[in-house]
Amino acid sequence: MSTWRLVRRPLVAAAAVAAVAACKGLTSVAASYDNVTAAVAVYPINGSPPGAPTAISLFGVLPTHADQSFAYDLAFDLDTSGKVVLIPARQLATQLSNPYSVGLQVVPDSFAALKHAPKSGYTVDSLLVVPLHAVVAIESHDIGRCQFAIKGQSYFSKLVVDSINRALSKIFTTVTVNRSCGFYSFADGKPTD
């Protein structure tokens, strides 16, 4: 066997290992955004003052008015027993509009203890009635923002209803949003997973 053959095999193997390592670098993408936590106050969609914020756009962590633009993830309401009703935008849409899907699930953890969004178990585009202090994990299937994301086509949030002021007809929440598509962590700063 020639010396070149003896040298060539290890060189080819080393090149293959380097190529695999380089490819892994292409798919292990860093998060684009820091996670954001904010207190958000909204009104119930029924009985609110005209133009009042009755919904939340999670990506921007902004209270907004639920209207036909559907530039929000969730609208809010109160049921007859005083519990908060979370309403994904598709529940308010007609056949002529097509807002993105939003999945919801109540989690047993406290708001602080929920460190990662669940990877499954969401009920998509359905109303969810939640009592005070219930923690909700949210998956926003926002193709407009996540269409070119390598890690996933959704971003994740968590929400807790802190209080309801019946005199003002106002709902107070705390929200953490992981705006980096395909990342599940709610840790402060840029998520790593």
Give me the pLDDT at residue 21, please. 44
Give me the pLDDT at residue 124, please. 97
Give me the pLDDT at residue 186, please. 97
Q: If you ran DSSP here, which 8-state letter would residue 17 be given?
A: H
Give me the pLDDT at residue 96, please. 85
Helix (H, G, I), strand (E, B) or coil at 139: strand
Give me the pLDDT at residue 37, please. 97
* 3-class SS string, 144-190: HHHCCCCCCCCEEEEEEEEEEECCCCEEEEEEEEECCCCCCECCCCC
Q: Regarding beta strands 84-88 and 74-78, do their DSSP bridges make them parallel or antiparallel, or are they unpaired?
A: antiparallel
CA angle (190 as vertex; 88, 41 as ends), nearest 5? 40
Parse the chain into domains and list their residue ranges: 1-30, 31-178
Give me the pLDDT at residue 94, please. 86
User: Would you state the structure tokens that stand for residue 36, as one six-digit string?
Assistant: 């954001």
Give me the pLDDT at residue 28, please. 73
Dist CA 101 CA 22 (whole Å): 35
Average pLDDT by consecutive 10-residue portion of the chain (193 residues)?
56 47 59 95 95 96 93 96 96 90 97 97 98 97 90 95 94 97 95 91
Give me the pLDDT at residue 88, please. 98
Say how many C-beta atoms besides its own lie within 10 A of residue 134's C-beta: 18
Dist CA 41 CA 18 (whole Å): 52
Q: Where does residue 152 fall: left (phi above 0), alpha (psi -120 to 50 degrees), or beta otherwise?
A: left
Buried b (16+ CB within 10 A) or exposed e, 51-87: ebbbbbbbbebebbbbeeebbbbbbbbbeeeebbbbb
